Structure 1
Amino acid sequence: MSTAPRQDVLYTPVRRLDFRPMSHIDTEDSSPADFHILDLFAGPGGLDVAADALGYRVTGIEWDAGACATRGAAGMDTFHGDVRKYRAAFFPRAQVLTGGPPCQTFTVAGHGAGRRALDQVLDYVGELHRVLRETEEQPGDPQAWLRIFRTWRGIHEELRRKELEAEAIRHEKRNLEQRRTEARKSMKGRLERQGASAKEIREFLKGLKKPRTIVLVDDELQDLLKVFVGLDDKLAELKDRLEELGDERTGLVLQPLWWVIERSRRPGSEPYEAVVLEQVPAVMPVWKRYVEVLSSLGYRTTTQLMHTEAFGVPQTRRRAVLMARFDRSDLPEGPGPGLLWPVPETHELYHRRGTFTRLPKANRSDTLFSEKPEHWISMEAALERAEKHSVKVRRRPPFSVVSNYGTGGVPEARGRRDHDDPSATITGKVSRNRVVHKETDKDLEDGLGRFNSAEAGALQTFPATYPWSGNDISQQIGNAVPPRLALHVLLHVLEPELDEKEAEARLERGIEELEAWEPKETVEPLRHRGLKGHPLTGR
């Protein structure tokens, strides 16, 4: 998740309400579809800038101050705040709902906290689905809606209670950790007064990871150790309790579903035309349960585990994507009743050992896009293209990127990719990755031994001129949706009526627009007071 919002970020107060596109490339052809998109958990704007390149209009809701600073500098229409403080009813003119709710790592296997959190979310979705089925014969009935709303309110209140309890436990945990630290310092001081050597003290402190195994004859040390062990036991209990309670992200992952339900079943509302949600692969079981609910609300759906390099992103990364389109008679035929075709791949799947395999065909038709996929895009190729648009992207000799974290849980086994490979997954630690001369461990000179923000952003397929701002820029980049992946998904879901040539031309034009995109106006992110008069609110 992104860091806590700050209140001291300054913005240039230039207000824009006419929803003019953010891209400023002159073009004769206009978008064949005009959509107003509401992007929940919008981040720094990965999906938004892709939507703009396709000619759609986007409003985002984002709580992180750093991401809002970037969005403001990019001219993106944004509400700064917690998604839970807003409602679907506030934005009746939004036609498309998108988002990537921050999630804990749901562990499918085992019986740990991740598995419990996953089960809890699936149970909540099931509870909402049950009340929808029980009231499906009463569309537009205020009493039916009241029952649905009360079910959601019960879930929300339970999550809020758990959140408050968890915060109290975290406060207690911090106090106990401070007391344990003091006990540790007292034991160290006692050993120093007894004349223990530095090595003996280090070994003793190292042994505190398993304090019950330590045997002492010194009474004062023994008393201090008992205090330490008691605090350790209490901390373990609090940790278990926190795992049982989960955290606020459990409620956040449910928000997009509730917004869809509200727009579908609240009297006087109309369903969203389309829904697009994405997250890490571990969230796929949640999306599949979402599909059951969306299908019952009249949507055609599909879920897809997407490998980013197979869609022209110079990076190996996997995303779990849910796509839904309200089922109207003019939609093209899908692969089966109530289904959408998955997004077709355009590039090869990367394999480190030099073998390449095309992903299984997942086309709307057997001939959509060329039969022969393009080669995946390397870091070098992506940076060379970005260099044409910004002096911040610098030319390098043949290089390797060495990640600052290990692979397979082994810190010494640093991940390594060469310049003619796609990048490994861009994370919030991208600024710490070393860029070295190929086949050596020697850092590049002249400040080229690290990627700057423009270069790291380019590997995520952001425009080279993207105005990264605010705090934790590396984390913003690492958390963002790769815009080029978003291009494929949005075009596929929002314009399924295009034939092969039209879709390919639209995609190519969108890629050109994305690469050449430049910010123009700085805008001030809005808060609740900005709802009045906003184009999506109808107020």
Structure 2
Amino acid sequence: MPKTELKNVVDIFCGAGGLSAGFSKAGYNVVTGIDNNENSIETFRANHDCEPIVGDIQRQDVISDIKEAVSQNGYNTEEIDLVIGGPPCRGFSMANVRSDSAEHPLNELPARFLEIVRKISPEAVLIENVPRLLTVADGKFKQSIIARLESMGYNTTYGVLEAEKFGVPQKRRRVFFIGHKSAEPELPTQAEFEFKLPVTVKQAISDLPELPTGGGGELKMEYSFDNSEASEYVAEMRRHEEPGVVMNHRTTRNQEKTYRRFKHIPQGGNWRDIPEDLMKNYTNRQQTHDHIYQRLEEHEPAKTVANFRKQMIVHPTQNRLLSVREAARLQSFPDDYHFKGSSFNARQQMVGDAVPVNLAYSIGKSLRNCHATGELSSV
């Protein structure tokens, strides 16, 4: 007999916990998460009310570790209603344009994810990845995911969602596959928040304190102004944080030869706006990506924020790179979500790799009434 609602969630390839944060916000109970990155697990543990585990998904017996973690958190696998996860996408990303074959080693991870789903057998499943998964290897991976979900008894849908339409101040595209055993799933088509969409960069980060030219900042700082002066989006981000205090507002400190380049870049510009005599170390300009040294436009949502340090994403009005907290805001992480880890670079990477929280929330909210209605409600 079908259950009346989805509740208990296990997050596979959980990373820093963006998917879980969104589903928690939508009212789900996150039972555990698993990832092979210790920095990500430290961050997940600090922000979720459950014990996650460090584990290698490629190990054949990893399901035993997951079941043990579920048990240690007070549940059994029969109580898991939903398995969610984003198998690492570097094998499918635009940075790996040569991986359009089935042979890239990271491209096997969706299959491992689905094997775990088969052994847990939840009522529903959610898979997140980059849109190129749909076309890589002539669509082989898309077809394989759908076929395997259907073979396990799931009604399945998939599609690409635009993050800025779901409460995220960032133009980020992600593909989602949803499988459900007792309903015909649909992807959400609209979102409702207490702030107007789309959210611009300025609306997302303008309350954060100014940092020095070239970068800097501290682990713990004070906001530039109180919550009453902030945008509606910022008020939402600051709702649960310690009054007047912001964490993780730090950025890479660049050498003078690097930050001299920043002042030449207009909003919306990139490395092409920098005089050639300041870019002598870029010997192969034909292979330099347009997103390098890109300055954000304050009155638009941000471009995709991946590894914002390696991308050299520049603040819209200050001559420095983005801070961890600014990138987290652009990923819709609330300010009480603190990023841990052994290094500053690790925290930057975690934020860039995460699923935007409000995008995950929108999907989670649309799934809330799936059992009761026989169809996914709009957000």
> For residues 405 and 49 of structure 1, do their structure 2 counterparts lie closer, same or farther at Cα, with a shift above 3 Å needed?
farther
> For residues 404 and 315 of structure 1, do their structure 2 counterparts lie closer, same or farther at Cα, with a shift above 3 Å needed?
farther
Tell me, yes or no, if structure 1 residue 254 matches structure 2 residue 136. Answer: no
SS in 1 for 2:360: helix
- Give, in angstroms, the shift of residue 70 of structure 1: 1.1
SS in 1 for 2:15: coil
- Give, in angstroms, the shift of residue 55 of structure 1: 2.3
Alignment-derived partner of residue 313 in structure 1? 168
Counterpart code for 1:420: H
> For residues 402 and 68 of structure 1, do their structure 2 counterparts lie closer, same or farther at Cα, with a shift above 3 Å needed?
farther
Alignment-derived partner of residue 96 in structure 1? 82
Instruction: Return the alpha-carbon distance in structure 2 between the equivalents of residues 79 and 40 of structure 1.
Output: 10
**Which one of 11, 15, 26 corresponds to residue 39 of structure 1?**
11
Alignment-derived partner of residue 295 in structure 1? 150
Alignment-derived partner of residue 69 in structure 1? 42
Identity of aligned residues (%): 23
Counterpart code for 1:82: D
Tell me, yes or no, if structure 1 residue 392 matches structure 2 residue 246. Answer: yes
Counterpart code for 1:280: V
| Residues 99-178 of structure 1 aligned to structure 2 (within 5 Å) | 99-106=85-92, 113-117=98-102
> For residues 498 and 69 of structure 1, do their structure 2 counterparts lie closer, same or farther at Cα, with a shift above 3 Å needed?
same
Task: State the TM-score, normalized to the length of structure 2.
Answer: 0.66
Counterpart code for 1:308: A
SS in 2 for 1:83: coil
Tell me, yes or no, if structure 1 residue 495 matches structure 2 residue 378. Answer: no
Alignment-derived partner of residue 28 in structure 2? 56
- Give, in angstroms, the shift of residue 40 of structure 1: 0.6
Q: Could you give the per-residue CA deviations for residues 7-28 of structure 1, whole angstroms, max 9, x where no partner exists?
A: xxxxxxxxxxxxxxxxxxxxxx
Q: Contact 1:401–1:419 at 8 Å: present in 2 too?
A: no
Counterpart code for 1:415: Q
Instruction: Return the alpha-carbon distance in structure 1 between the equivalents of residues 246 and 143 of structure 2.
Output: 42
Alignment-derived partner of residue 349 in structure 1? none
Alignment-derived partner of residue 87 in structure 1? 63
Q: Could you give the per-residue CA deviations for residues 413-468 of structure 1, whole angstroms, max 9, x where no partner exists?
A: 7534311100110111248422243xxxxx45xxxx33322221011000112111
**Larger helix percent:** 1
Instruction: Return the alpha-carbon distance in structure 2 between the equivalents of residues 113 and 60 of structure 1.
Output: 31
Alignment-derived partner of residue 424 in structure 1? 303
Q: Contact 2:163–2:171 at 8 Å: present in 1 too?
A: yes
Instruction: Return the alpha-carbon distance in structure 2 between the equivalents of residues 403 and 392 of structure 1.
Output: 29
Compare CA radii of gyration and give the structure with the larger one.
Answer: 1
> For residues 340 and 41 of structure 1, do their structure 2 counterparts lie closer, same or farther at Cα, with a shift above 3 Å needed?
same
SS in 1 for 2:168: coil
- Give, in angstroms, the shift of residue 260 of structure 1: 2.5
Q: Contact 2:6–2:371 at 8 Å: present in 1 too?
A: no
Q: Could you give the per-residue CA deviations for residues 501-539 of structure 1, whole angstroms, max 9, x where no partner exists?
A: x967xx6xxxxxxxxxxxxxxxxxxxxxxxxxxxxxxxx
Instruction: Return the alpha-carbon distance in structure 2 between the equivalents of residues 279 and 473 of structure 1.
Output: 21
SS in 2 for 1:87: helix
Q: Contact 1:402–1:433 at 8 Å: present in 2 too?
A: no
| Residues 367-516 of structure 1 aligned to structure 2 (within 5 Å) | 375-383=197-205, 384=231, 385-386=233-234, 388-389=238-239, 391-392=245-246, 400=267, 409-410=287-288, 414-430=293-309, 432-437=312-317, 443-444=318-319, 449-470=320-341, 471=343, 472-496=346-370
- Give, in angstroms, the shift of residue 409 of structure 1: 4.7
| Structure 1 gaps, min length 5 | 1-31, 121-245, 264-270, 332-338, 347-368, 438-442, 508-539
SS in 2 for 1:69: helix
SS in 2 for 1:492: helix
Q: Could you give the per-residue CA deviations for residues 237-286 of structure 1, whole angstroms, max 9, x where no partner exists?
A: xxxxxxxxx43x233221111123334xxxxxxx3110000011111232
Q: Contact 1:325–1:493 at 8 Å: present in 2 too?
A: no
Alignment-derived partner of residue 126 in structure 2? 276
- Give, in angstroms, the shift of residue 495 of structure 1: 2.5
Task: State the TM-score, normalized to the length of structure 1.
Answer: 0.48
Instruction: Return the alpha-carbon distance in structure 1 between the equivalents of residues 93 and 347 of structure 2.
Output: 28
SS in 2 for 1:306: strand
Counterpart code for 2:155: R
Instruction: Return the alpha-carbon distance in structure 1 between the equivalents of residues 16 and 24 of structure 2.
Output: 14
Q: Contact 2:44–2:52 at 8 Å: present in 1 too?
A: yes
SS in 1 for 2:150: helix
Q: Contact 2:5–2:370 at 8 Å: present in 1 too?
A: no
SS in 1 for 2:303: coil
Q: Contact 1:454–1:466 at 8 Å: present in 2 too?
A: no
Instruction: Return the alpha-carbon distance in structure 1 between the equivalents of residues 363 and 166 of structure 2.
Output: 10
Instruction: Return the alpha-carbon distance in structure 1 between the equivalents of residues 16 and 153 of structure 2.
Output: 32
| Structure 2 gaps, min length 5 | 71-76, 206-230, 250-265, 274-284
